[in-house]
Amino acid sequence: MRPVPAASEAMQLLNSYLEILRINGEPQCPEVAHAISLHVADLVALAVGTTRDAAEVAAGRGLRAARAAAVKSWLLKRLSDPALSLHKAAAAKRISPRYVQLLFEQEGTSFSRWVRTERLRLARRRLVDPLHAHRSIASIAFDCGFSDLSWFNHAFRAAYGMTPSDVRHGEALETRH
């Protein structure tokens, strides 16, 4: 037995990944649970040291998943920042901007599309939340990181098939009955 340095990159990613899992709770889908267990096993293998072949498999699967989760977690905490960028995320996680792009591409999306989708989801949640009923749509949009109201309205309508005010009024009526 030998100690594993807590400052090692693999150990930090393992801790970060486990914290995200703790916050999100147990997955409901067996396939997701299986993938998570593989990712954790891969990160443990990388942290404690393993054979070269196993390390390559682990780096390709668990390490990538942990880095993607860490980047997304960092981004979710900063969605309201209109200056949020690929380069800022990469620098914060000490990886290259191209690697961040690859993480999102492997999930079938892009960095900017993912950020826009998450900002729209946040705006939609706030539009239907009674705690935000007193706030204007523009205020909510700007607080969710959008810097152009007309672009927000266009993106929102494209995503949900309704305007923000339609969603606010429609959802509000549904929650009253």
- Give the model confidence (pLDDT) of 97-136 as tens digits: 999 999 999 889 999 999 999 999 999 999 999 999 999 9
| 88 and 42, same domain (yes or no) | no
The sign of the CA dihedral 108, 114, 120, 125 is positive
**pLDDT at site 34:** 60
pLDDT band at 11 (very low <50, low <70, confident <90, very high): confident
**pLDDT at site 1:** 54
Separation between Cα atoms, residue 116 and residue 118, nearest integer Å: 5
The domain boundary, picked from 19, 46, 77, lies at 77
Domain count, the chain: 2
Chain mean pLDDT for the chain: 82
Q: Is the predicted pLDDT of residue 160 greater than 50, yes or no?
A: yes
CATH number reported for the structural domain that contains residue 91 in this entry: 1.10.10.60
Dihedral of CA atoms 65, 59, 13, 67 in degrees, nearest 10, equals -40
| 103 and 58, same domain (yes or no) | no
- Note down the domain range covering 136: 79-177
- Residue 164, Cβ neighbours under 10 Å: how many? 22
Mean per-residue pLDDT, 60-71: 78
For residues 89 and 130, the answer to whether their CB atoms sit within 8 Å is no
| 106 and 91, same domain (yes or no) | yes
| 26 and 92, same domain (yes or no) | no
The domain boundary, picked from 77, 95, 114, lies at 77
